[in-house]
Amino acid sequence: MRNLLSDFAVPIAILSMTILDFLCSVETPKLVVPSSFMPTFEGRNWMVAHAFMFADHVLANPWYIDVFLAPLLAILATILIFMDQQITAVIVNRKEHKLKKGMGYHLDLLVLAFIIIIKSVFGLPWFVAATVLSINHIQSLTKESQSSAPGEKPHFLGIREQRVTAVLIAVGIGLSTLITPVLGLIPMPVLFGVFLFMGVSSLKGLQFFDRLLLFFIPRKHQPDYVFLKYVPLRRVHMFTLVQFVSLLGLWVIKSNPTTSISFPVMLVLICAIRKLMECVFSRRELRVLDDLLPENSDKTRRKRVVSGLFRLHGADWDDEEAEKAKKEEAKRKEVEEQEAMLVKRGRALTMELDDFGKVIYNAVINLALFHQLLSQRVT
């Protein structure tokens, strides 16, 4: 029952707070929704005047705007939409989610391009990936094991991969145009609180956020993360600092109105920084802390051919790295076996002490009974 209520926490919060706002009669800013189905600006037609559709638009703007400025702005918008879509898709398709169905990065971009063309004709807002909503959608479809013992944490089993919820979300958004008077009763502070809650809750399970928390957790109290078994803590902090400084720089550039136009270019610069990190961190560390960047197909094919030749001669590709990984894995298994042995010995010692305590207890009881009988006989 608790899990069922948590799945509908957002609509329950919006409904309850809206009813409370209505009963208290407090003057709060409400959600502004149009009362009729029409373009936002008065006097504007449904279709935007494009040069290829309307001949009079060719002479409406100066020629240098259509020739130089429009393509430049289009390139910036393309970079922004491409990065937003791909970053969201990479987060959703991370290996930690254990998705079984294949990824369709190219198909997503193709469908998105056709949708943006149609929306541009009608002057509608562009359809882009919603990172926070996508992460919350993934979390709502999580499958976990049933806890059998009190205090036992459920284990992550995977994601319920289906298309029903996405279709119903799109249908619900379309039907929301029929209840605009009801939506106009929702206070804006309630929506801001919901957005804040969804943003904070989406941080759960992100490795970057977990690595940020490691700065404030003592070493002996740190959780048993997988990346801590293969990468030293100092290297983990270095990688996290580079990411945090890059994120802070993007936020500063985006928040300043004079530099916000260059935000898409800064996203490309972030890709260059990520490529330069391969000179500081090894491929094995990047594989654990982050996904490896895709390589050129010719280079990858060459590696496969050389790797096949090495295997034909009884050698493995990247022997040094593989041997190092084997040694660390053997060392980790040895430590785990030692810990298991210590736990087993501790349990055995506890049982022995428990048995010894029972013997002492029985001896004390017998002595007490013997003393009581002896005192009765003396009297």
Query: Do residues 244 and 174 share a domain?
Result: no
Provide the pLDDT for residue 132: 75
Provide the pLDDT for residue 55: 59
Provide the pLDDT for residue 108: 84
pLDDT band at 313 (very low <50, low <70, confident <90, very high): very low
Residues 6+ apart with CB under 8 A from 351: none
Mean pLDDT, the chain, rounded, equals: 77
Percent of the chain beyond pLDDT 90? 2
Within a domain: residue 376? Answer: no
Whether the pLDDT of residue 126 is over 90: the answer is no
Full residue range of the structural domain in which residue 103 is found: 33-183
Task: Tell me the residue type at 109.
Answer: L
Single out the residue of 318, 249, 310, 308 nearest to residue 287, CA to CA: 318
CA-based Rg of the chain, rounded to a whole angstrom? Answer: 31
Query: Do residues 78 and 117 share a domain?
Result: yes
Write down the H helix ranges in 277-379.
Answer: 283-289, 297-312, 319-378
Provide the pLDDT for residue 308: 47
- Tell me the per-residue pLDDT of 96-121, one tens digit each, with 9 for 90 and over: 778 887 777 788 888 888 988 888 87
Query: Do residues 228 and 162 share a domain?
Result: no
Query: Do residues 172 and 251 share a domain?
Result: no
156 DSSP assignment: E
Query: Do residues 104 and 227 share a domain?
Result: no
Provide the pLDDT for residue 240: 92
Which of 183, 217, 250 represents a domain boundary (last residue)? 183
pLDDT band at 183 (very low <50, low <70, confident <90, very high): confident
- Tell me the per-residue pLDDT of 266-307, one tens digit each, with 9 for 90 and over: 878 888 888 888 888 888 888 888 765 554 444 444 444 444
Tell me the whole-structure pTM to 2 decimals.
0.58
Provide the pLDDT for residue 244: 93
Average pLDDT over residues 305-334: 56
Strand partners, 30: 187
- Tell me the per-residue pLDDT of 167-181, one tens digit each, with 9 for 90 and over: 888 898 888 888 888
Q: Name the 3-class secondary structure at 158.
A: strand
Average pLDDT over residues 2-27: 83
Within a domain: residue 2? Answer: no
Say what angle helices 70-92 and 105-122 make with each other, to 10 degrees.
140
Q: What is the DSSP string of 90-153?
A: HHHT-GGG---SPP-HHHHHHHHHHHHHHHHHHTPPP----HHHHHHHHHHTEEEPPP-STTPP
Within a domain: residue 262? Answer: yes
pLDDT band at 339 (very low <50, low <70, confident <90, very high): confident
Which of 294, 316, 336 represents a domain boundary (last residue)? 294
Tokens at 31, concatenated: 């959600």
Tokens at 164, concatenated: 């029903």
Strand partners, 82: none
